[in-house]
Amino acid sequence: MAFIDLPLEKLKKYKGSSPRPKDFDEFWKKALDEEKNTKANIKIKKAAFALKGFECADVFYDGVRGGRIHAKLIKPAGKTDLPIALHFHGYRGRAGDWNEYLSYASAGFCVLSMDCRGQGGQSTDAGGVSGNTNRGQIIRGLDDGPESLLFRQIFLDTVTLADIAKGLDYTDETKLFAYGGSQGGALTLACAALNPEVGLLAPVYPFLSDYRRVWELGLDCTAYEDIRDYFRLYDPKHEREDEIFNTLGYIDVTNLASMIEGETILAVSLNDATTPPSTVFAAYNNISAKKEIHIYPDFAHEHLPGFSDVVIQKAQNKFVEK
């Protein structure tokens, strides 16, 4: 039997229960100003991986607050005016193997896949830790105020990645696509919300959405255990509960979703106890741009058959010259 925290007819109308801070728009405007004023110090070098017909490179750049970010880049060799595909990986992970991006590169895209700072890839976080922090990223910086939240910085890293991609000599800055699953789905939404030039986005069961709802469901899912652990360690009687959820509201993709202007194609699993369907619908239902949702009733937090095929065909039809 499918896990459904709300009946499907209610999911289709549900817009979230987490707070949206009063200064949310001002907060992100200020954050974007900081991103624009941060010198990227871009370095691009030929990758050790090589494959006939493709060019592969490692991209390094500075993000806000001292992060040094890495991304993989793969493109068809010798081609110009390429549409851009930005990929974002899952929580605690890293950019995938080069071959995972060959489908989009073969379809004519310049693909960039970002390593999130402080997770499993080559990006580094200047907040006292270099490399993999493994746990606690949702609440990291919470006690220092919303400007210190780690996911604020990671969301801004996606914007800088888009800026870099648009500035490459061989890309078409008007053709920008973003995709990813779980945390990658959340970063896809955040990137599109903070960069309205993203014309198509394909998030799969996005993470980092409707934090209070996740808490109220009482699920013992590892993806959101950061919040549970924070309360147990720092607010065991929930005396600061409203304050904490309000602060987390700044990095809640449900609140960012209304800023998205690009066409959205989203997938949700109704048996997903990792990113519960109500939290996914909360983000989706706040998107006012053109959109469609693909519902998988019997699937959990796993591969969703056929969806990636639908997405790449839509991306190719939208952005690649026929």
pLDDT band, very low/low/confident/very high, at 131 (cuts 50, 70, 90) = very low
Q: Can you tell me the mean pLDDT for 209-215?
A: 94
d(CA 25, CA 307): 33
Write the pLDDT tens digit of every residue in 222-241: 678 889 888 988 999 999 99
For residue 313, give every residue at least 6 positions away whose Cβ sits within 8 Å of its Cβ, in sequence order, or none.
none
CA atoms within 13 A on the CB side of 77: 8
Among the ranges given (93-107, 199-213, 219-233), the one the predictor scored with the smallest mean pLDDT: 219-233
Which of 192, 189, 215 shows the shortest CA–CA distance to 280? 189
Average pLDDT, integer, range 278-294 = 98
Q: Is 301 a catalytic residue?
A: yes
- Six token digits for residue 91: 């929580």
With bands split at pLDDT 50, 70 and 90, how would you rate the model's confidence at 135? low
pTM: 0.96
**159 or 118, higher pLDDT:** 159
Amino acid at position 207, single letter = F
The stretch 175-185 carries a mean pLDDT of 98
Find the farthest-apart pair of alpha carbons in the chain and give their distance in angstroms, rounded: 61
Give the active site residue among 113, 182, 209, 269.
182
Q: Which of 125, 252, 272, 278 is catalytic?
A: 272
Average pLDDT over residues 181-193: 98
Helix (H) or strand (E) holding 192: helix 183-194
Cβ-Cβ contacts under 8 Å for 90 (sequence gap 6 or more): 180, 181, 182, 183, 184, 207
Q: What is the pLDDT of residue 130?
A: 40
Among candidate residues 34, 118, 46, 38, the one with its CA nearest the CA of residue 75: 46
pLDDT value of residue 128: 55
Residue reference for tokens 């986005």: 201
Is 182 in the active site? Answer: yes
- HSE at residue 119, side-chain half, CA atoms within 13 A, is 22
User: Residue range 135-143: average pLDDT?
Assistant: 86
In this predicted structure, the answer to whether residue 132 has a pLDDT above a threshold of 60 is no
What ranges do the domains of the chain cover? 8-314
The reply to whether 303 belongs to the active site is: no
Question: Among residues 167, 154, 192, which one has the least CA distance to residue 63?
Answer: 154
Would you state the pLDDT for residue 127? 74
Return the residue matching tokens 């997405």.
Answer: 311
Distance CA 37, CA 35 (A): 5
| Average confidence (pLDDT) over 169-190 | 98
For residues 80 and 170, the answer to whether their CB atoms sit within 8 Å is yes
Task: Say whether pLDDT at 129 is over 50.
Answer: no
What pLDDT band is residue 189 in, cutting at 50, 70 and 90?
very high
pLDDT in tens, 295-311: 999 999 999 999 999 99
Distances (CA, A) of 196 to 67, 71, 272, 295: 24, 21, 29, 26
Reference 151, options 67, 221, 74; nearest CA is 67
Strands across the sheet containing 291-296: 43-46, 54-62, 68-76, 110-114, 82-88, 171-181, 200-204, 263-269, 291-296
Tens of pLDDT, residue by residue over 237-275, are: 999 999 999 999 999 999 999 999 999 999 999 999 999
CATH class of 8-314: alpha beta
